[in-house]
Structure 1
Amino acid sequence: MSEITNDSQVILHFDLKLEDGSAADSTRMNDKPAKLIMGDGSLTPNFERCLLGLKVGDKKAFTLAPQDAFGFPNPDNVYYMDRSKFGADTPVEDGAIIAFSQPDGTELPGIIRSAAGDSVTVDFNHPLAGQTVIFDVEVIDVINQ
């Protein structure tokens, strides 16, 4: 049976929870497992290390500290923008998540941290930055090259 190596393609279900047990993300809600390629940069090296050696059918939960998961919030990723930069149909309210178009055509989500008068504070840090997270994974398939 194949085990996860540095070159594996992996199909897995995961539940991502915070330390208080609240759910942050799950592939089980829509029954759509995640597909990932080890070493492609989509996961942190620490997360990948936790997967190495697991086999099809394995279930494992592991806790990652902020520096091993989504990092710590970076103050350089918080921007102050003028409200006029937002369209009339854009909900500029605290907590709203808005997709901002990048010059290369990709979109980057930003969280409105505060909207006061003409000033809007947008945080582009990962929403889970600074959080200890618990990953609960179930390996469905492993394809080794």
Structure 2
Amino acid sequence: MQAVKNGDKVRVHYHGRLTNGTTFDSSEGRDPLEFEVGAGMVIKGFDNGVVDMKVGEKKTLNIPVEEAYGPKNDELIMDFPKENIPADLNPQVGMELQMSNPQGQVFPVKVAAISTEFITLDANHPLAGEPLVFDIELVEIV
């Protein structure tokens, strides 16, 4: 039976969770995830984890921070003056907002803290700094 190698297009079912067991994503009830192995379409640990799998095989991947979304980057946490916030916006800690950079690119941020003068915004990926666990099943090598 054929084993997955870099360059193969594969389809997998997955259940992603944090190390405390909290689910953050799953393909349950959806079509399997399809991607090209080694093309950087998924995080490095997931990409590497499917190599050598055979159709129908199941496994659990324990992905360290460095092979997931990387460590939190303090440069992506910024204090934004409250006076620059639209008057009709009532930010709350945990709220997700959209910002744009000077080039017009839009990116998501999360309200991390609120003080009297500033709103602290975090532009890190929500899973940055987290080791991840994936239960995967190789459905098909396309």
TM-score (norm 1): 0.82
Q: Structure 2 vs 1, CA of residues 124 and 7 (structure 1 numbering), >3 Å: closer, same or farther?
A: same
TM-score (norm 2): 0.84
- Structure 1: distance between partners of 2:9 and 2:88: 41
Q: Structure 2 vs 1, CA of residues 8 and 101 (structure 1 numbering), >3 Å: closer, same or farther?
A: farther
What's the RMSD between the two structures over aligned residues? 2.2
Partner of 1:100: 99
* Aligned-partner residue type, residue 3 of structure 2: E
Q: Structure 2 vs 1, CA of residues 21 and 92 (structure 1 numbering), >3 Å: closer, same or farther?
A: same
Unaligned segments of structure 2, at least 5 residues: none
Partner of 1:38: 37
* Aligned-partner residue type, residue 115 of structure 2: A
Q: Structure 2 vs 1, CA of residues 3 and 99 (structure 1 numbering), >3 Å: closer, same or farther?
A: farther
- Structure 1: distance between partners of 2:15 and 2:46: 14
Partner of 2:109: 110
- Structure 2: distance between partners of 1:99 and 1:71: 22
- Structure 2: distance between partners of 1:33 and 1:106: 30
Q: Structure 2 vs 1, CA of residues 120 and 37 (structure 1 numbering), >3 Å: closer, same or farther?
A: same
Alpha-carbon contact 2:38-2:48 (below 8 Å) kept? no
Q: Pairwise mapping of residues 115-126 of structure 1 onto structure 2 (< 5 A)? A: 115-126=114-125
Residue by residue over 1:103-144, the C-alpha shift from the partner in whole angstroms, topping out at 9 and shown as x without a partner, is: 66654221110122341111111212221211111112212x
Q: Structure 2 vs 1, CA of residues 106 and 3 (structure 1 numbering), >3 Å: closer, same or farther?
A: farther
Q: Structure 2 vs 1, CA of residues 135 and 119 (structure 1 numbering), >3 Å: closer, same or farther?
A: same
Q: Structure 2 vs 1, CA of residues 94 and 3 (structure 1 numbering), >3 Å: closer, same or farther?
A: same
Partner of 2:26: 26
Q: Pairwise mapping of residues 1-145 of structure 1 onto structure 2 (< 5 A)? A: 1-28=1-28, 30-88=29-87, 90=89, 92-102=91-101, 107-143=106-142
Residue by residue over 1:22-75, the C-alpha shift from the partner in whole angstroms, topping out at 9 and shown as x without a partner, is: 1111121x4232222222223233332211011221111111121222211111
Q: Structure 2 vs 1, CA of residues 6 and 94 (structure 1 numbering), >3 Å: closer, same or farther?
A: same
- Give the aligned length: 142
- Structure 2: distance between partners of 1:105 and 1:36: 29
1:21 Cα offset (Å): 1.0
